[in-house]
A and B are shown apart, each in its own frame.
Chain A
Amino acid sequence: MRAGLSRPAAAEIVFAAAAYAVTNRVGTLLVLPPEPLVSFVASPVFRFVRPLLAWRMRPRPRAPEPAPRPDDGPCAAVVAALDGSPAAGVLRRAIDGAWASGVLPRRTKTLMLAVIARALGCAHGEHEARRFLAAEGLAPGQLDEILANLGSPRLDAREARLVPFARETVRYQPAAIQRRMRELAHGLTAEEIVEAVGIAALANAVCRMSVVIDAC
């Protein structure tokens, strides 16, 4: 913004950067090899496909999406900062879809958000998580205990593994986090692993956006 960008423009740039926080974590945690994608781009076949992709990706006039209302779901303030940008709808749908999925309980996913918000110093994310978890019946003192110690006998077995893991998705070395991911994967179903990674990635992106937007 000091460079003369408007707040919505700055927010949109922050969104683009935060999107990398998602793809980076999904790729790293699930150990998705980048080579096939990179080598495909360099291959002769891609030269023929490229115009088709360019045509498909060309800007088209589209009906403006209705801006998500500020009270439209979790992390609404972050989405509201993108008001007027198509990114707002993308983020809203991503958050709503992630929280609506029933693979992991909402309480578990919100606990992961709370831990990631605490690690990143994202007061907004932690406040939202507190509000939701209180409605789920988790007393503030109990949440304080969980956030202070990344564990509690009140967590179920799956939460007891996912809560400390959430913290590790904030700052990591790839080899170390992939080793931890392999440990975590034992005892979780494939769907649970994918959802846990998705939530961790999304929470990291949303909290990072929130921190930057608050600072704007």
Chain B
Amino acid sequence: MLIAAAALAAVVVALVLWLGRTRRTVAALEERLAAAAGDLESLQQAFARFAPAEVVEDIIAQGVSTRSEKKEVTVLFADLKGFTTLAEHLDPDVLVRILNGYFERMSRAITDHRGHVAKFIGDGILALFGALEANPWQTNDAAHAALAMRAALADYDATLAADGLPALAMGVGIHRGTVVAGVIGSAELIEYGVIGSAVNLAARVQELTRAHAVDVLVTAAVRDALDPRFTLHAMPPLEVKGLPDPVATFAVDRFDAETRSQVPATP
């Protein structure tokens, strides 16, 4: 009887110990699972800054995304005027510091207005609005970003001047149109990007800022979609490489929240 009771007690103790260990194991596994889920979520959020959520999910699930689609986006192309000449006269360390300061400020102005910096091309910036997620206000966002870039550059130029460094001048071209978007590249280097004449036209319009001696130019497609509270003035149409007809552009002066547009007051 005593032996049986002792055996039973031993079994109970063993069970309790086993249960305790199992609970600790489960708790540890739950903790690891939660940590892994947190890491995955962070990864998804980080990647969502570079590609649409569906593309990120494809890559996580399959390692690759073959998803490509046509979409209407607003393309902003910015470039520094005369920077190549400037670069030849500056110490490389100073040059890189100036350029990185410029990219930092411009990127912030773009992302603050829901744009996505697609790539840096030399001293140029290609930014997209409405590419990563549907954005009905993409054109206004791009124009607001351009004005924010103008203000940020003026501020940066003041900083550079205080350090005895030369001021920068920038040209921005904005165009809205249909592009093909998808994951593009080789096994060695892939990126989420867009292809289409809209991208080329934005770059060409940016080049026209030199001819028109202005800093922000938009196409007629942008003007048509733009909030009327932006003040624009028309530039004479000019020919650009790759297009048969001259391109009409509009310089963006400012945004005035108090401007009243022409909409009937009553039904």
Contacts and interface: CB of A to CB of B under 8 A. Distances in A.
Given A139-B266, A142-B265, A119 B140 contact: no
B137 A150 contact: yes
Contact of A149 (B134, B227, B264, B267): B227
Contacts of B267: 134, 137, 139-140
Interface residues of B, number: 18
B264 A141 contact: yes
Interface in A113-163: 118-119, 121, 134, 137, 139-142, 144-145, 147-154, 160
A167 interface: yes
B257 interface: yes
B261 interface: yes
A24 to B, nearest CB: 13
A156 to B, nearest CB: 14
B134 A152 contact: no
A186 interface: no
B260 interface: yes
A165 to B, nearest CB: 13
A151 B264 CA distance: 16
B258 interface: yes
B166 interface: no
Contacts of A56: none
B229 A141 contact: no
Interface in B209-249: 227-229
A2 interface: no
Contacts of A149: 137, 140, 227-229
A171 interface: yes
Nearest to B228: A149
B136 A119 contact: yes
Nearest to A141: B263
Given A121-B134, A167-B137, A153 B264 contact: no
Given A137-B267, A139-B265, 4 more contacts: A119-B136, A141-B264, A148-B227, A151-B227
Interface of B: 133-134, 136-137, 140, 227-229, 257-261, 263-267
6 contacts: A137-B266, A142-B265, A148-B227, A149-B140, A149-B228, A160-B257
What are the nearest 9 A-B pairs in CB distance? A149-B227, A139-B267, A153-B260, A141-B263, A145-B263, A142-B263, A118-B136, A141-B264, A139-B264
